[in-house]
Amino acid sequence: MKSKEKLLTKKVDCSEKSCPVTKCMRVIGGKWKIIILYAVQNGANRFGVLQKTIPDISKQMLTTQLRELEKDGIMSRTIFPEIPPRVEYDITPLWKTLFPIIEAMDKWGRSV
């Protein structure tokens, strides 16, 4: 019983500065980011296609999440100089380091 008491009283610093899990969750956490990344990874690389692929997300939320992912270096955005302008999103090498996590989530989601 004493080991359980020690576990409960152990001080843990979960600030982003000290905790890598907190840092990871800041970058990819939330309701939509993982779903957006999963969709882009599977070929949905334009805004309209992402909206159709993720029908429950609002335009504003999709825009916000895409900007955050781009800011954090997880996703890149390419604007093609055409009329009308075409914008495509893609995953970055940094995202590829997160892919095993997403694969594990996919596997777990299929098993429950």
Residue 68 is predicted with a pLDDT of 94
pLDDT at 7 over 80: no
Instruction: Identify the structural domains of the chain with CATH numbers, from first to last.
Output: 18-111 (1.10.10.10)
Per-chain mean pLDDT for the chain: 87
Which uninterrupted H or E stretch holds 91? strand 86-91
pTM: 0.78
Residue 89 pairs in a beta bridge with: 77
| Mean pLDDT calculated for residue range 47-70 | 96
